[in-house]
Amino acid sequence: MTQTPKSLTVKDLTKVFQTPEGPTTAVRDVNFEIEGNTFFTMLGPSGCGKTTTLRMIAGLETVTSGDLLLDGEDFRRKNAFERNIGMVFQSYALFPHMTVFENVAYGMRLRKAPETLIRERVTETLAMLRLDGLEKRHPADLSGGQQQRVSIGRALVYRPDILLLDEPLANLDAKLRVEMRDEIRRLQKTLGVMALYVTHDQEEAMAISDRIAVFSKGRLMQLGAPYEIYTHPTSVFVADFIGKANFFLVTLDGDAVVAPNGARFGGLPVVQTVDEDEWFDRTDALMMCRPEKMWLVAASERTGDTGFEGRATRIQFLGTFVRYLIESDQARSDVIVDLPAFAPGVSEGDAVRFGPAKDGMVFRKATK
Ligand X SMILES: Nc1ncnc2c1ncn2[C@@H]1O[C@H](COP(=O)(O)OP(=O)(O)OP(=O)(O)O)[C@@H](O)[C@H]1O
Residue whose CB is less far from Mg ion, 51 or 246: 51
- The closest of 329, 351, 324 to 248, measured between CA atoms, is 329
Our CB check for ligand X shows the closer of 60 and 298 to be 60
79 binds, among Mg ion, ligand X, none (CB under 5 to 8 A by kind): none
Residue 9 CA neighbour count, 13 Å, CB half: 11
Interface with ligand X includes 246 (CB under 6 A)?
no
| Out of 41, 43, 50, 230, the residue judged to bind ligand X by CB under 6 A | 50
Pick the stretch among 46-54, 55-63, 116-124, 241-249 that binds Mg ion (CB under 5 A): 46-54
Site membership for ligand X, residue 17 (CB under 6 A):
yes
Instruction: Please report how many Cα atoms fall inside a 13 Å half-sphere around the Cα of residue 348, on the Cβ side.
Output: 8
Is residue 26 within 8 A of residue 19, CB to CB? The reply is: no
Among the listed residues 9, 38, 51, 125, the single contact to ligand X using CB under 6 A: 51
CA distance 99 to 105: 10
Instruction: Using CB under 6 A, count the residues that bind ligand X.
Output: 13
| Residue with smaller CB distance to ligand X, 50 or 83 | 50
Distance CA 324, CA 313 (A): 8
Using rule CB under 6 A, residue 26 touches ligand X: yes
Residue 34 to residue 365: CA distance in whole angstroms: 31
Partner from ligand X, Mg ion, none contacting 24, C-beta within 5 to 8 A by type: ligand X
Q: Any contact of residue 157 with ligand X (CB under 6 A)?
A: no
In this structure, the dihedral spanned by the alpha carbons of residues 205, 206, 207 and 211, taken in order and rounded to 10 degrees, is: 80
Binders of Mg ion: how many residues, by CB under 5 A?
1
The answer to whether residue 51 forms part of the interface with Mg ion (CB under 5 A) is yes
Q: Taking Cα atoms as reference points, which of 84, 72, 57 lies closest to residue 7?
A: 72
State the nearest-atom distance from the C-beta of 200 to Mg ion, in Å.
8
Q: Which is nearer to ligand X, 104 or 221 (CB)?
A: 221
Is residue 234 near ligand X by the rule CB under 6 A?
no
Question: Dihedral of the CA atoms 217, 223, 224, 227 (nearest 10)?
Answer: -20
Cα three-residue angle 204-205-206, rounded to 5 degrees: 90
Task: Work out whether 332 is an interface residue with ligand X (CB under 6 A).
Answer: no
Beta carbons of 251 and 285 less than 8 angstroms apart: yes
Residue with the CB atom nearest Mg ion in the bound state? 51
**Could you write out the DSSP letters of every residue in 45-83?**
STTSSHHHHHHHHHTSS--SEEEEEETTEE-TTS-TTTT
Q: Minimum distance from CB of 25 to Mg ion (Å)?
A: 16
The count of other CB atoms within 10 Å of the CB of residue 81 is 11
List the interface residues with ligand X, window 267-326 (CB under 6 A): none
DSSP 205-240: HHHH-SEEEEEETTEEEEEE-HHHHHHS-SSHHHHH
Residue 208 Cβ vs Mg ion, minimum distance, rounded to whole Å: 17
* Binding partner of 62, given Mg ion, ligand X, none, CB within 5-8 angstroms per partner class: none
Residue 200 binding ligand X, by CB under 6 A: yes
Rounded to a whole number of angstroms, the minimum distance from the CB of residue 359 to ligand X is 30
362 binds, among ligand X, Mg ion, none (CB under 5 to 8 A by kind): none
49 part of the interface to ligand X, by CB under 6 A? yes
Which stretch of DSSP H or E encloses residue 249? strand 246-253
Kindly list the residues in this chain that would bind ligand X in the complex (CB under 6 A). 17, 19, 24, 26, 44, 46-52, 200
Kindly list the residues in this chain that would bind Mg ion in the complex (CB under 5 A). 51
